[in-house]
Homo-oligomer: A and B are copies of this chain.
Amino acid sequence: LAGVSRSTVSRVVNDYPNVPDSTKKHVLEVIEKHGYVPHASARLLAGAENKIIGLFMVDKKRDAEGRKVSTSSYFSPFITGVIDSANEYGFRVLAYAVCKQDDIENVKRVFYDKTISGGIFIGQQNDKDTSELIARGYKVVLIDKGFENMDKKDIKNCIIVNADNYNGAYKATKYLIDLGHRKIAHVTGHLNQLSTIERLEGYKKALSDANIELDAAQIVRGNFMREGGYEATKKLLLQSSPTAIFYCNDSMAIGGAQAIEEEGYTIPEDISIIGFDDIELSRYFRPPLTTIRLPLWDMSAIAVRTLIAAIKSEPDFSAHYMVPVELIERKSCRRLTNIGE
């Protein structure tokens, strides 16, 4: 009541139409003068819309000291992307790194106590937890999440944003084939993750389209991590002699490169390698890593936009996006000439 009225102030602050410009201006001046800022909690409690979304990076791994560290390189562009987009819509973002089961309880609480009005999950999350959230009607978007293990009902009630892993893997493998390679190995990610399966399928399809027979000895399990790529490559080199290796992600390609060099081969002269994701490191790796770029930034923008739309209009907000993917040609693959082969 700093001059004029009271609920009028509310109308001004919320920019309602039925306020004449004169009073509006006056109120605004008084507000400015006194440095008045409405109390966020009070607004929320009284029914204003909650403009906070959650960003949950789930990563079960930790480094030796128990720090949540591996999270960084892959998630990083996604994080800033989400924050950036959300801010543009006037939304704030509450960030969480979830590692242990305890963390996920905190995540749920943030939904339940209405601190946030929706959330984005990236990483390998537990189905049961997100499923509970979805079942309760919370707005949830899942990044790089498969459907096969999901409840039908859940799929219909959440937003899913995926990269086009299948075509990316196809492109990568095709690229190697076009370069003249025939003995093309593949190191997979975690077999329980959608992207792993899709990338494996794309690889197989490219091979079969080129009439190259699939050789089980050329496929080795990895785990998305540097060490996994290293181990898998050591194993691979023992049981077969590929001229090219397609890794399910860049981290493993980089780990694999070390194994390749330790075995006395050079890249790309002896063995060509190609990754997936295009993490920052790949550009600066020696040799610079040819890879498939994951448009994490675009994915973050889509996730945020769709989530906010869902928050604003209650019913029926399910959606499924497939974001296209791009081959980034660098220096880790070479053309096979007949002389060499």
Instruction: Spell out A's residues near B (CB within 8 Å).
Output: 35, 37-42, 44-45, 52, 55, 57, 67-69, 71-73, 76-77, 79-81, 83-84, 87, 92-97, 103, 106, 109-110, 112-115, 254, 280-281, 284-286, 297
Contact = CB atoms under 8 A, between A and B. Distances in A.
Contact of A77 (B72, B96, B106, B115): B72
A110 B96 CA distance: 18
Binding site secondary structure of chain A: helix
Contacts of A97: 80, 83-84, 87
A80 B87 contact: no
Contacts of A39: 45, 113-114
A294 B93 CA distance: 27
Copies in the complex: 2
Most buried by B among A44, A52, A68, A83: A83
B112 A37 contact: yes
A73 to B, nearest CB: 6
A116 B273 CA distance: 47
11 contacts: A39-B113, A40-B41, A41-B114, A52-B94, A55-B95, A67-B81, A72-B77, A73-B76, A83-B96, A93-B94, A280-B281
B110 A92 contact: yes
A174 B284 CA distance: 28
A39 B57 CA distance: 24
